[in-house]
Amino acid sequence: MSSYEFLIGLRYTRAKRRNHFISFISLISLLGMTLGMTALITVMSVMNGFHKEVRARILGVASHAQISSYEGSLYNWEKIGEVAVRNPQVVAAAPYIDAQGMLSHGSMVHGVMVRGVVPADENKVADFGEKMIAGKLDQLTPGGFGIVIGRELARTLNVFQGDKIVLISPQGQITPAGILPRLKQFTVTGIFEVGHFEYDSGLALIHLSDAQKLYRMAPNQVSGIRLKLHDMFEAPQVIRELAAILPADLYFTDWTQQHANYFRAIQIEKRMLSLILALIIAVAAFNIVSTLVMAVTDKQSDIAILRTLGASSGSIMKIFIIQGALIGVLGTLLGLLGGLLLAYNVGDVVAFIEHISNTQFLSQEVYYISKIPSDPQLADIVTVAVVSLILTLLATLYPSYRASKVNPAEALRYE
């Protein structure tokens, strides 16, 4: 830090005597680097927040992993569940029955996905108990023929807790008049809202034993088993381990397969936005190139004098590399500070802008996520900082090389 190359490079960062335009361009490069870093970190944090929020809402209803059968039903699900729970990553297992049906109330009819569950077990693998806005999941009892539906579905059918609705099963009964669908009246015992339209508008929960009776299944027959894991990201590894010890006729899936397209689309969007915003940092790096080229042109006589005093070409390169690196490092540090401050307070900033502009960016009536989430991740921040520093150092190489090739005799000819 005490070397003359560093001291001269630090001095050249500000052109005090003759060319103030160079210091102005240096300031613009610094602000561009800071702005690019701030915008990139903030956007990546917001995208991570949206990804985390959507994933939490989907997996609050769906499962981390599922075990089913290629034949469509399991008969020995208790033993399979016991084997699955022995895995250290598996928190709980719950049987389920998946079927299709139609709900009717008055003149309104709506198709739904019917899920038969055991409330005590279902609360261990899903978050329905926390998402109830009316009634409780535990009110589903064997033989009670109660049903729990989503908020949007209840609004579509215009029903409330305690109302009677008819569930129509596609499995028909053969009668002299032909094949007629099976009908059963259910009582709405609860209404949930998970914040995901697909489930709030098209999912109905009934007790497992009621589903077995309605869909003519044996008392020990289910569609499959739902699993909850300690770490959801270990789901692919867990199902591979279970597939190795469980019968070969079972079918294993996890949340990364069930919702692959959805999460892949979010990830691609995040990468494209990051790439576009990274161009701001690239522009700032090009500004550093122009700044150093002008500095080299302005300081040719100084370079010649240093060379005549014995400075090597490498020392001249170091001077201008240090000058450009100082701009890049300072811009990166300020950008990191600004990005983290904005990422952790983006909700308050957006609320303030909404207040002064009297507008609402994410209306609760339109969007299920009405607040802008943010989730700064260390890996993203480190990656952005490293890329910024690399671009900065690369931007200093050509101007510094030109400075090292300045001929002292030519530079001092007209001095």
Q: Residue 250: phi, psi to the nearest 5? A: -90, 155
| pLDDT on residue 204 | 92
Beta pairing, strands 224-229 & 90-105: antiparallel
Residues facing 205 on adjacent strands: 115, 148
Dihedral angle of Cα 154, 155, 161, 162, to the nearest 10 degrees: -80
> Which parts of the chain register pLDDT below 50?
1
| pLDDT on residue 18 | 55
| pLDDT on residue 1 | 41
Q: What is the 3-state secondary structure (H, E, C) of 303-343?
A: HHHHHHCCCCHHHHHHHHHHHHHHHHHHHHHHHHHHHHHHH
Distance CA 326, CA 313 (A): 20
Task: Summarize pLDDT for 274-309 with one digit per residue, the tens.
Answer: 788 777 777 777 777 877 777 777 777 777 877 777
Residue among 230, 300, 324 at smallest CA distance from 33: 324
| Angle at 382 (CA atoms; ends 379, 385), nearest 5 degrees | 150
| pLDDT on residue 146 | 92
| pLDDT on residue 186 | 93
Distance CA 195, CA 209 (A): 28
Distance CA 159, CA 12 (A): 75
Q: Are 147 and 203 in contact (CB under 8 A)?
A: no
Q: What is the 3-state secondary structure (H, E, C) of the chain?
A: CCCHHHHHHHHHCCCCCCCHHHHHHHHHHHHHHHHHHHHHHHHHHHHHHHHHHHHHHHHCCCCCEEEEECCCCECCHHHHHHHHHCCCCEEEEEEEEEEEEEEEECCEEEEEEEEEECHHHHHHHCCHHHHEEEECHHHCCCCCCEEEEEHHHHHHHCCCCCCEEEEEEEEEEEECCEEEEEEEEEEEEEEECCCCHHHHHHEEEEEHHHHHHHCCCCCCCECEEEEEECCHHHHHHHHHHHHHHCCCCEEEEEHHHHCHHHHHHHHHHHHHHHHHHHHHHHHHHHHHHHHHHHHHHHCHHHHHHHHHCCCCHHHHHHHHHHHHHHHHHHHHHHHHHHHHHHHHCHHHHHHHHHHHHCCCCCCCCCCCCCCCCCCCCHHHHHHHHHHHHHHHHHHHHHHHHHHHCCCHHHHHCCC
| pLDDT on residue 115 | 92
Q: Are 296 and 320 in contact (CB under 8 A)?
A: yes
| pLDDT on residue 147 | 93
Q: Whole-prediction pTM value?
A: 0.68
Structure tokens at 97: 């029955």
